[in-house]
Amino acid sequence: MDITPIERVVKPWDVPLDRLAESTALTPEQKAAEVSRQFESILIKEILKETWKTPIPSLTGDESVANEIYKDLIINQLADNISKSGSFGIAQTFERQLTSNIKLENQPKPERKNDR
């Protein structure tokens, strides 16, 4: 009985950001897409943090450390899900810019003739 080895499919979001550049399992386009998505996620987190702030201090005393941790977890998860959905749009624009640079780098350089 032949058993084929299980090939692990690597998804870009499974690779930590600090190891993304050196990953050989992903194409440059996949790397650009994931960097763009994570950049968008950071922007969304900052927007959500600002919108979550209340103009009037709470009278209920919910400014506890546990509440701040919980709020931070919600914001991080929400920002990550928004960026993965692709509905925000900044990641696609940023990815197009990065992939156009990748394509330019991969084009063969024209030969220069020496004029002497």
Higher pLDDT, 80 or 67: 80
Q: Are 45 and 90 in contact (CB under 8 A)?
A: no
For the chain, domain boundaries:
31-52+63-105
Residue recorded with tokens 């927007």: 47
What confidence score (pLDDT) does residue 20 get? 73
What confidence score (pLDDT) does residue 24 get? 78
Q: Are 94 and 36 in contact (CB under 8 A)?
A: yes
Residue recorded with tokens 């919600």: 74
What confidence score (pLDDT) does residue 9 get? 64
pLDDT at 58 over 80: no
Length of the chain in terms of residues written: 116
Task: Report the alpha-carbon distance of residue 99 to residue 83 in Å, rounded.
Answer: 18
pTM of the model: 0.66
Higher pLDDT, 55 or 23: 23
What confidence score (pLDDT) does residue 75 get? 92
Both structure tokens of 112: 């220069």
What confidence score (pLDDT) does residue 101 get? 74
CA atoms within 13 A on the CB side of 29: 5
Among 49, 56, 47, smallest CA distance to 90 is for 47
Q: What is the mean pLDDT of the chain?
A: 79
pLDDT band at residue 44 using 50, 70 and 90 as cut-offs: very high
